[in-house]
Amino acid sequence: MRRKIFLLVALSMFIFFGCTDEGKTSFSDENKASEAKVEKKSTKDRKKSDDLVLTTLDDEKISIVKEKDGVKFSNQNNRVILLNFFATWCPPCKAEIPHLNSLQEKYRDDLLILSVALEDKDVETLLSFKEFYNINYTITHGMANFKFSELLGGVQTIPYMVLYDKDGKYLKHYNGIVPEEMLEADISRQL
């Protein structure tokens, strides 16, 4: 009986708190406010080196500029952005894929799900992962993903998601797996 209770508690913690991988990129609750804090540099003073470029599996480039109240994405095109930090080895990350696929399909013209791989995998492995799970949203790869994570304050637990409005303004973040209905409610409020 004790063993069953222990297994139930362990499984619950795993599902609701997500995966961590010691020694990789870090994000903690103390850094929650990092999205909202004001940077000292103005946009006019920003150097080109402050810009970050993510690469998709289709070899498209997405320029990212950290603003005082959010992030500007070069491919935003007046859409709500849902960043999804994940790894292919993370069971909760895999479990949320059908929900993210559903949301991307439902809001295809108004939502961009940008999935950021936080592991050093080659493009072929990530393409196989995308195909196996029928992922219909954008996945980025490469070392710039880790720099982007650090730009946002770091990521310790995955899945980790951040929601931005159509102007790139920070709205909300989510630690661990999140019910599709909760994400949809937050997204639909922005449309």
Count up the domains in the chain and report the number.
Answer: 1
pLDDT tens figures, 132-187? 999 999 999 999 999 999 988 889 899 999 999 999 999 999 999 999 999 999 99
CATH number at residue 19: 3.40.30.10
pTM: 0.75
- Average confidence (pLDDT) over 52-67: 93
Predicted local confidence at residue 6, as pLDDT: 38
Sheet containing 160-164, strands listed edge to edge, beginning at the edge strand earlier in sequence: 70-73, 61-67, 52-56, 138-141, 111-117, 80-86, 160-164, 170-175
Domain that holds residue 42: 2-189
